[in-house]
């Protein structure tokens, strides 16, 4: 019998289908993996903004994680929105019971593309001190990185040092995304804590408002490529190429009245 490459996402839902659990599962499928999910919150949102967040009880979240891992297992795990300190600690404690799963990707979701805050303020320190050092790689954008490191980031030239700073003493690798800078050419920076090297991934900025769920999609693609057995460097390179192409393909479409989604399945239909 053949075996799927399996990826579990632990995140909130997005009924509009462009971000969160829905984007994660689409990405896993597009990148050749079987996707499973543990939903931490039901989010009332669309391309315009977030109206509300209904939390799933923490014990029910950990139950979902255990149900998936005890039965199906996982070759990689992607963690998205974890809105409270209690939930962060519970997810970490649950995953610690599965030490053979080393490919854990954390997208430190704090603010939606629309600007809506998705993480309680008191949970930020818990995220930094307890969950960040536990995972293999984090994928902050610049506003998230500024919160994590506690100071502003104003230019491309600062990204190498900031990525290394966010590694917290080589505990975790960091992909620092440059999309919030105004440069025409974007250069995302990967600090690989396992090899102590910095790599740059360049792409041209695409003129589009369809960027809803780009962070979810990129981190999920990294998890998917890690699940396939690629190295961290190769996984990030493949994932950055995938998200660039998905944004480019999605820019041709009009959906919703705000920030539309990327085209997750551009390789299969256009």
Per-residue pLDDT reduced to its tens digit, 128-176: 899 999 999 999 998 889 888 888 988 888 899 999 999 988 889 999 9
Residue 216 is among the residues annotated as catalytic for this protein:
yes
* DSSP class per residue in 45-94: E-SS-EEEEEEPPHHHHHHHHHHHHHHT--SEEEE----SHHHHHHHHHH
Indicate if 17 belongs to the active site: no
Can 215 be counted among the known catalytic residues?
yes
Query: What residue spans define the domains of the chain?
Result: 6-250
Window from 13-22, 110-119, 189-198, 233-242 with minimum mean pLDDT? 110-119
Angle between helical axes of 214-227 and 232-250 (0-180°, round to 10):
140
Taking the domain 6-250, which CATH number applies?
3.40.1190.20
Q: What is the pLDDT of residue 220?
A: 98
Please say if the pLDDT value at position 184 is more than 70. Answer: no
Q: Is 229 a catalytic residue?
A: no
- Band the pLDDT of 110: cuts 50, 70, 90: confident
Q: Which of 214, 217, 238, 240 is catalytic?
A: 214
**What digits encode the pLDDT tens for the residues 233-269?**
999 999 999 999 999 999 999 999 999 999 999 999 9
pLDDT at 267 (0 to 100): 97
179 carries an active-site annotation: no
Contacts for 43 with CB less than 8 Å, ≥ 6 apart: 12, 13, 14, 15, 20, 50, 52, 53, 54, 81, 118
Tokens standing for residue 150: 């506690």
Contact call for residues 13 and 42 (beta carbons, < 8 A): yes
Quick one: average pLDDT of 10-18? Answer: 96
The beta strands (E) that lie in the chain are given as 6-12, 34-45, 50-55, 76-79, 104-106, 137-138, 173-176, 185-192, 197-204
- The answer to whether the Cα torsion of 103, 87, 17, 176 is positive or negative is negative
Q: From the candidates 27, 113, 211, 240, which is the catalytic residue?
A: 211
Of 20-24, 85-89, 131-135, 183-187, the range with the lowest mean pLDDT is 183-187
Separation CA 100–CA 6 (nearest Å): 14
Q: What is the rounded CA–CA span in Å between residue 37 and residue 48?
A: 25
What integer is the mean pLDDT of 180-186? Answer: 71
Chain centroid to CA 208: 20
């Amino acid at each position: 019998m053949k075996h799927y490459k399996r990826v579990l996402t632990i995140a909130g839902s997005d009924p509009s289908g462009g971000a969160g659990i829905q984007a994660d599962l689409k990405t896993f499928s597009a990148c050749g993996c079987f996707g499973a999910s543990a939903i931490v919150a039901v989010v009332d949102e669309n391309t315009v903004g977030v109206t509300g967040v209904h939390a799933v009880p923490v014990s029910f979240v950990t139950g979902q994680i255990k149900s998936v891992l005890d039965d199906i297992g996982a070759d990689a795990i992607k963690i998205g929105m974890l809105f409270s300190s209690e939930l962060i600690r519970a997810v970490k404690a649950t995953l610690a019971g599965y030490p053979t799963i080393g490919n854990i990707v954390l997208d430190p979701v704090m603010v939606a593309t629309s600007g809506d805050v998705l993480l309680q303020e008191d949970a930020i320190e818990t995220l930094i001190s307890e969950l960040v050092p536990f995972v293999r790689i984090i994928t902050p954008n610049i506003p998230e990185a500024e919160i994590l490191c506690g100071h502003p980031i104003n230019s491309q030239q600062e990204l190498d040092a900031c990525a290394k700073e966010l590694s917290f003493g080589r505990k975790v690798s960091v992909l620092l995304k440059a999309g919030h800078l105004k440069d025409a050419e974007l250069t995302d920076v990967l600090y690989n804590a396992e090899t102590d090297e910095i790599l740059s991934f360049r792409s041209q900025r695409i003129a589009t408002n369809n960027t809803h769920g780009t962070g979810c999609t990129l981190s999920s693609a990294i998890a998917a490529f890690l699940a396939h057995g690629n190295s961290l460097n190769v996984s990030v390179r493949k994932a950055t190429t995938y998200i660039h192409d998905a944004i480019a393909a999605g820019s041709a479409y009009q959906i919703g009245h705000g920030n539309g989604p990327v085209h997750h399945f551009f390789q299969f239909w256009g």
